[in-house]
């Protein structure tokens, strides 16, 4: 069953805590992306990776970090430096960075 | 500044009726335009993709049009169904050397189909 998965579906963060959102794909896609979606706003790019062991900052990278040690995996860490982390986080992948992106089901992050 | 404007912001129609969603953009140089459907609490799903030379493309009851001269696109939904209730997002890609920073997302049109 091919696709892109994200976990958990809901995540709660305490003040000052780092949390990591998981994103896995078995589509053999080279490119992977993280977006943030806020109510009434368009998707905003946090980080993207065109190939293993390489990634670039998007428009709103401050307070976030990523790694791309494996082709299938692109985890996103929301650090304590991100002062307004409550949002819906979407991971996507594509064959290359010029092709249509396939999105995961999303993770909703809430701050306690 | 590259921008994608979608209208209306929200729309309510009765089941079985047709509707048209609009997307105007200022992205340049233009590469392609995509329409996505996003169900509440889910990730977006691609409906259509159009390049500069294409002015219409269909996917079932969804038909997208593109006028690259006026930088406008529309998504027409025929014989709407309850399952069409979702947000529809227009995404315009800019010709770049590569990288996801060439994409500009619209804020979406929230469509509600009433029985």
Enclosing H/E stretch for B32? strand B30-38
Cα B39 to Cα B41: distance, rounded to the nearest angstrom:
6
With CB atoms and an 8 Å threshold, state whether A45 touches B103: yes
What DSSP assignment string belongs to chain A? ---EEEE-SEEEE-TT--EEEEEEE-S--SEEEEEEE-TTS--EEEEEEEETTEEEE-TT-TTEEE--SBTTB--EEE-TT-S---EEEEEEEESSTTSPPEE---EEEEE-
> Measured between CB atoms, which of B34, B41, B105 is closest to A43?
B105
The reported pLDDT for the residue numbered B101 is: 62
Structure tokens at B45: 């799903």
**Chain B residues close to A101, C-beta within 8 Å:** 46
For chain A of 112 residues, list the mean pLDDT of each consecutive stretch of 10: 87 90 96 93 92 93 96 96 92 86 94 84
**Chain B residues close to A107, C-beta within 8 Å:** none
**pLDDT-based confidence at B80, cuts 50/70/90?**
very high
**Chain A residues close to B108, C-beta within 8 Å:** 42
**Chain B residues close to A4, C-beta within 8 Å:** 43
> Measured between CB atoms, which of B4, B98, B103 is closest to A50?
B98
Of all residues in chain B, the one with the smallest CA distance to A91 is B43
pLDDT digits (tens, 9 = 90+) for B34-71: 999 999 999 999 999 998 889 999 999 999 999 999 99
């Amino acid at each position: 069953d091919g696709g892109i998965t994200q976990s958990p579906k809901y995540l709660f963060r305490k003040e000052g805590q780092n949390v990591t959102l998981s994103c896995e794909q078995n589509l053999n896609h080279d490119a992977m992306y993280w977006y943030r979606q806020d109510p009434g706003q368009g998707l905003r790019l946090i980080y993207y990776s065109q190939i293993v062991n390489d990634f670039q900052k998007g428009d709103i990278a401050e307070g976030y970090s990523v790694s791309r040690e494996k082709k299938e995996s692109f985890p996103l860490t929301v650090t304590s430096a991100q002062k307004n982390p409550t949002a819906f986080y979407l991971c996507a992948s594509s064959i290359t960075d010029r092709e249509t992106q396939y999105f995961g089901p999303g993770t909703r992050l809430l701050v306690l | 500044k590259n921008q994608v404007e979608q209208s209306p912001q929200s729309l309510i129609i009765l089941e079985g009726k047709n509707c048209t969603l609009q997307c105007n953009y200022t992205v340049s140089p233009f590469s392609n335009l995509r329409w996505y459907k996003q169900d509440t609490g889910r990730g977006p799903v691609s409906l259509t993709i159009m390049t500069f030379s294409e002015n219409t493309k269909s996917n079932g009851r969804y038909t997208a049009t593109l006028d690259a001269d006026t930088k406008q696109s529309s998504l027409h939904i025929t014989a709407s169904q309850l399952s069409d209730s979702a947000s529809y997002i227009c995404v315009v890609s800019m010709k770049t050397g590569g990288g996801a920073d060439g994409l500009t997302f619209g804020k979406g049109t929230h469509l509600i189909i009433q029985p």
